[in-house]
Amino acid sequence: MSVLMVNESFDFNSLKEYLDVTDGNLASHIKALEERGLIETKKQFIGRKPNTSYSITQEGIHLFKQHLNALENLIKAQ
């Protein structure tokens, strides 16, 4: 989610490489985020190659900020 917070969008292969995860691992996480409406998927062709990119939704931004705030509060409470 943090990658999508600071980038307008990110494609599958770039995310996979950046996060150093397998196709299956990334796909399962993306599916869960997508089902909850936290990210959007855009499928297109670049030349003749399929390309899938992801961007964060407004709901995703809202919930991620809440998550960060909760983490900050947890750290401050230590």
Range of the domain at 63: 2-76
| Domains identified in the chain, total number | 1
Task: Determine the distance from the C-alpha atom of residue 8 to the mean position of all C-alpha atoms in its chain, rounded to a whole number.
Answer: 11
CATH for 48:
1.10.10.10
Q: Tokens representing 43?
A: 């499928």
State which H helix or E strand residue 41 sits in: strand 39-46
| pLDDT per position as a tens digit, 43-59 | 999 999 999 999 999 99
Nearest-angstrom CA–CA distance, 11 and 18: 11
Whether 48 contacts 27, CB under 8 Å: no
Residue 78 has pLDDT above 90, yes or no: no
The helix (H) or strand (E) run that includes residue 45 is strand 39-46
Q: Please, which pLDDT band fits residue 39 given cuts at 50, 70 and 90?
A: very high
